[in-house]
């Protein structure tokens, strides 16, 4: 009896999990900071402003240094499409407007999630996004509200 | 004078702050560049279409397909000396008044960040007269092949030597930037130069979610040697000549520019529009321009459509001196002067245009754009065309086809 119920239940759960994974709204990157960082929450407009270079300080005057992943990486595209609603090309055009009007340079770009993790654990001010498989106890996931 | 003081100030800041180097990643030097390889065809054979009114030739009369209207290369070095102090040098090579592609300094300034939200700059900068003024030469950063000339031609002298202060602040979830500037600039053309002195401007830009709001107001004093000589000739004609000269002369008078802009970009599509008005109690007169562009993004493709309009709101004709009152050869001289004066005050841009285009972002930092413009010039208006030949009739319609490869690195 029990066994007869379990099989459909398992397939139902698996199905639900698959739907969640394939759901376009679900990000496949995690926004993370060092476990030592003074914040674990950001509003989505804070996150967008930080990555677009419009602000470097969040509430209580906490300084945040964003880290990028190299152009052309899947993590980068997913991060920008999900959290800023803009394609990599739009982000590139945005930075062209900033650079060539003397308003600053884009965030430092690191080659992959591993490099981002290495930087985050050394710098409590740094903010990054990584592939979930690189998450470990030295990091904390930032809740985006 | 302002210019010399500006440069002296810039040099002092750089030399005095060398001792402040502390951060191990500083000083840091970045090199970036942008450019456009573009060709444009105009079906008006008796005059040249140009993007820059100071260029010597363009498409239509001089070239069937011209690669000189939109093509340019810009190189920039950004030096960050301390966390507060940075410097930008940008050199741009594009078609000049003398026909060359001689590189010129577009930006050269030193910036000091008093706080992360308050910056002070001294040196050469671009006016923020319109929403896209500061990056108007970086075609990659704008949706079009060139900014709508109905608005962006209102103030052709774009960069200035002086100072500016920028202040960024937040209110709720909106970020804003207030900018104040003061300085002067000049632009050379084939037979002389135009100078803008004592210019000041204030602009304000707000990003609120997907919405951008922009407003700017500025004033400048324009002077041009050639025009001074022209009005000196008018003054030879006694009181009526004096009156005409003081009514239309440009030197010493202030031209003002007001502009408003709005943009909405939720990601998959965008719309942007601007309206601007320039006013001068001189032969430059009062003009208004506006445009609206709508674009839709489908993967790497961005088709767009735009409409624009420019009109002169001050008088475009002037009876001038009554030639009958003067003996020969003064009568002929008066007629000649009246003719030139009328040509000048009727030369303002008066037109409506429709733009259709598509941009293809085929690889990071590179885009290919094709654009068609249909420009309807109102009667007597020459639509900002240069090198007008005797067979050219103002008030016609021109069709423009443009292709451009834009890149940034």
| pLDDT tens readout for residues A115-132 | 999 999 999 999 999 999
Angle between helix B238-248 and helix B225-235 axes, rounded to 10 deg = 150
Point out the residue among A57, A85, A92 whose CB comes nearest to the CB of B364.
A92
Kindly give, in sequence order, each residue whose CB lies less than 8 Å from that of residue B315, ignoring residues fewer than 6 positions away.
B285, B345
As a whole-number percent, the residues of chain B with pLDDT over 90 amount to: 63
Average pLDDT over residues B34-44: 96
Contact A97 B125 (CB under 8 A): no
Average pLDDT, rounded, for chain B = 90
Q: How confident is residue B118, by pLDDT bands cut at 50, 70 and 90?
A: very high
The SS3 call for residue B197 is strand
Contact B138 A102 (CB under 8 A): no
More confident residue, B225 or A76: A76
Report the distance separating Cα B284 and Cα B276, nearest Å: 15
Q: Copy the structure tokens of residue B196.
A: 């803008």
Kindly give, in sequence order, each residue whose CB lies less than 8 Å from that of residue A4, ignoring residues fewer than 6 positions away.
none
DSSP letter string over A109-131?
EESSHHHHHHHHHH-TTEEEEE-
Q: Tell me, rounded to whole angstroms, the distance of Cα A30 from its chain centroid.
A: 5
Point out the residue among A55, A71, A92 whose CB comes nearest to the CB of B175.
A55
Residue with tokens 């000739």: B233
Point out the residue among A72, A96, A105 whose CB comes nearest to the CB of B408.
A96
Pick the residue of A73, A77, A93, A100 with the most B CBs within 10 A to test the interface with B by mutation: A100
More confident residue, B90 or B396: B90
Strand partners, A140: A33
Q: How many H helices and E strands in chain B?
A: 5, 19
- The beta-strand segments (E) located in B81-191 are 85-94, 103-115, 118-126, 159-171, 174-189
Check whether A19 has a pLDDT greater than 50: no
Distance from CA of B170 to the nearest CA of A (A): 9
DSSP letter string over B8-48?
HHHHHHHHHTGGG--STT-SEEEEEEEEEEEEEEES-TTSE
Q: How confident is residue B132, by pLDDT bands cut at 50, 70 and 90?
A: very high
Looking at chain A, which residue has its C-alpha nearest residue B297?
Answer: A87
Report the distance separating Cα B351 and Cα B333, nearest Å: 32
Q: Copy the structure tokens of residue A10.
A: 């398992």
pLDDT at position B5: 60
Distance from CA of B371 to the nearest CA of A (A): 19
Contact A85 B267 (CB under 8 A): yes
Report the distance separating Cα B108 and Cα B125, nearest Å: 7
Q: Copy the structure tokens of residue B226.
A: 């050639």
Point out the residue among B34, B86, B175 whose CB comes nearest to the CB of A100.
B34
Looking at chain B, which residue has its C-alpha nearest residue A101?
Answer: B134
Residue with tokens 């030739």: B57
Q: What radius of gyration do chain A's Cα atoms show? A: 18
Contact A102 B125 (CB under 8 A): yes
**Chain A residues with CB-CB distance to B90 below 8 A:** 100
Q: How confident is residue B152, by pLDDT bands cut at 50, 70 and 90?
A: very high
Number of neighbouring beta carbons within 10 Å of residue A26: 10
Contact A92 B125 (CB under 8 A): no
Chain A residues within 8 Å of chain B (Cβ atoms):
43, 45, 49, 54-57, 71-72, 85-90, 92-94, 96-97, 99-102, 105
The SS3 call for residue B346 is coil
Q: How confident is residue B329, by pLDDT bands cut at 50, 70 and 90?
A: confident
Q: What is the pTM of this model?
A: 0.86
Pick the residue of A55, A63, A90, A93 with the most B CBs within 10 A to test the interface with B by mutation: A93
Report the distance separating Cα B397 and Cα B118, nearest Å: 48
More confident residue, B77 or A12: B77
Whether a cis peptide bond, with omega within 30° of 0, leads into A76 is no
Whether a cis peptide bond, with omega within 30° of 0, leads into B283 is no
Contact B267 A101 (CB under 8 A): no
Report the distance separating Cα B327 and Cα B347, nearest Å: 30
**Chain A residues with CB-CB distance to B86 below 8 A:** 102
Which domain, by its residues, includes A124? 2-144
Residue with tokens 């964003």: A66
Instruction: Tell me which residue of A32, A87, A13 sits closest to B363, measured CA to CA.
Output: A87
Average pLDDT over residues B333-341: 90
As a whole-number percent, the residues of chain A with pLDDT over 90 amount to: 62
**Chain B residues with CB-CB distance to A96 below 8 A:** 34, 135, 138, 140-141, 408
Question: What is the end-to-end Cα distance of chain A in Å, rounded?
Answer: 44
Point out the residue among B88, B135, B173 whose CB comes nearest to the CB of A97.
B135
Average pLDDT over residues B290-309: 96
**Chain B residues with CB-CB distance to A144 below 8 A:** none
Which contacts qualify for B306-309: CB closer than 8 Å, 24 or more apart? B306/B144, B306/B148, B306/B353, B306/B354, B306/B355, B306/B357, B307/B352, B307/B353, B307/B354, B307/B355, B308/B148, B308/B149, B308/B150, B308/B151, B308/B352, B308/B353, B308/B355, B309/B150, B309/B351, B309/B352, B309/B353
Looking at chain B, which residue has its C-alpha nearest residue A80?
Answer: B267
Kindly give, in sequence order, each residue whose CB lies less than 8 Å from that of residue B374, ignoring residues fewer than 6 positions away.
B353, B354, B397, B398, B399, B400
Check whether B306 has a pLDDT greater than 70: yes
3-state secondary structure labels for all residues of A20-76: HHHCCCCCCCEEEEECCCCCCEECHHHHHHHHCCCCCEEHHHEECEEEEECCCCHHH
Pick the residue of A51, A86, A97, A102 with the most B CBs within 10 A to test the interface with B by mutation: A102
Comparing B27-36, B211-220, B244-253, B357-366, the range with the smallest average pLDDT is B244-253
Report the distance separating Cα B82 and Cα B114, nearest Å: 12
> Tell me, what CATH number does A25's domain have?
3.40.190.10
Distance from CA of A44 to the nearest CA of B (A): 10
Residue with tokens 């009328």: B342
**Chain B residues with CB-CB distance to A92 below 8 A:** 140, 364-365, 408
Pairing state of beta strands B366-377 and B269-279? unpaired
pLDDT single digits (tens) B52-81: 888 889 999 999 999 999 999 999 999 999
ipTM over 0.90: no
Residue with tokens 């965030």: A107
Contact A100 B76 (CB under 8 A): yes
B152 exposure class (CB count in 10 Å sphere: 0-12, 13-18, 19+)? buried
Distance from CA of B17 to the nearest CA of A (A): 19
Check whether A25 has a pLDDT greater than 60: no
More confident residue, A3 or B359: B359
Report the distance separating Cα B125 and Cα A101, nearest Å: 8
Point out the residue among A57, A89, A105 whose CB comes nearest to the CB of B116.
A57
Contact (Cβ atoms closer than 8 angstroms) between residue B259 and residue B127 = no
Residue with tokens 């800023």: A84
List phi, psi (to 5°) of A39: -145, 150
As a whole-number percent, the residues of chain B with pLDDT over 70 amount to: 94
Number of folded domains that form chain A:
1
Check whether B40 has a pLDDT greater than 80: yes
């Amino acid at each position: 009896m029990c066994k007869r119920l379990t099989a459909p239940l398992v397939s139902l759960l698996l199905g639900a999990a698959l739907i969640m994974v394939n759901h376009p709204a679900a990000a496949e990157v995690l926004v993370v900071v060092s476990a030592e960082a003074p914040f674990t929450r950001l509003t989505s407009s804070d996150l967008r402003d930080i990555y677009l270079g419009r602000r470097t300080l969040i509430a209580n005057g906490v300084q945040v240094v964003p880290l990028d992943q190299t152009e052309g990486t899947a993590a980068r595209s997913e991060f920008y499409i999900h959290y800023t609603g803009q394609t990599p090309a739009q982000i590139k055009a945005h930075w062209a407007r900033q650079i060539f009007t003397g308003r600053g340079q884009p965030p430092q770009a690191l080659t992959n999630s591993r490099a981002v993790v290495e930087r985050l654990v050394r710098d409590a001010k740094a903010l990054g996004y990584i592939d979930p498989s690189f998450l470990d106890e030295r990091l904390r996931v930032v809740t985006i509200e | 004078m302002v210019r010399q003081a500006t440069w002296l100030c810039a040099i002092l800041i750089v030399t005095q702050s060398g001792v402040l180097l502390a951060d191990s990643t500083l000083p840091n030097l970045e090199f970036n560049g942008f450019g456009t390889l573009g060709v444009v065809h105009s079906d008006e054979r008796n005059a040249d279409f140009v993007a820059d009114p100071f260029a010597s030739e363009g498409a239509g009369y001089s070239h069937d397909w011209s690669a000189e209207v939109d093509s340019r290369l810009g190189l920039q070095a950004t030096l960050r000396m301390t966390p507060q102090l940075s410097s930008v040098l940008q050199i741009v090579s594009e078609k000049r008044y003398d026909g060359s592609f001689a590189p010129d300094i577009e930006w050269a300034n030193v910036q000091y960040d008093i706080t992360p939200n308050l910056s002070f700059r001294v040196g050469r900068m671009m006016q923020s007269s319109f929403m896209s003024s500061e990056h108007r030469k970086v075609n990659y950063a704008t949706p079009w092949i060139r900014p709508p000339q109905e608005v962006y031609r209102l103030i052709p002298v774009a960069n200035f030597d002086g100072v500016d202060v920028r202040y960024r602040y937040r209110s709720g979830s909106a970020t804003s930037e207030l900018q104040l500037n003061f300085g002067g600039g000049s632009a050379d053309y084939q037979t002389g130069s135009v100078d803008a002195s004592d210019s000041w401007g204030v602009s304000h830009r707000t990003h609120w979610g997907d919405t951008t709001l922009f407003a700017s107001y500025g004033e400048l004093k324009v002077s041009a040697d050639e025009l001074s000589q022209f009005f000196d000739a008018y003054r030879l004609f006694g009181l009526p000549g004096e009156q005409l000269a003081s009514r239309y002369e440009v030197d010493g008078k202030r031209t003002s520019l007001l502009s408003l802009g709005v943009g909405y970009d939720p990601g998959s599509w965008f719309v942007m529009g601007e309206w601007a008005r320039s006013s001068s109690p001189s032969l430059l007169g009062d003009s208004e321009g506006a445009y609206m562009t709508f674009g839709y993004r489908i993967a790497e493709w961005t088709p767009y459509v735009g409409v624009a309009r420019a009109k002169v709101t001050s008088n475009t004709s002037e009876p001038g001196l009554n030639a009958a009152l003067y003996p020969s050869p003064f009568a002929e001289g008066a007629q000649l002067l009246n003719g030139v004066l009328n040509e000048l005050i009727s030369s303002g841009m008066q037109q409506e245009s429709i733009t259709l285009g598509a941009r293809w972002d085929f690889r990071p930092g590179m885009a290919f754009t094709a654009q068609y413009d249909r420009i309807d010039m109102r009667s007597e208006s020459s639509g900002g065309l240069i090198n007008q030949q005797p067979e050219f009739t103002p008030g016609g319609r021109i069709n423009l086809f443009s292709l451009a490869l834009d890149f940034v690195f």
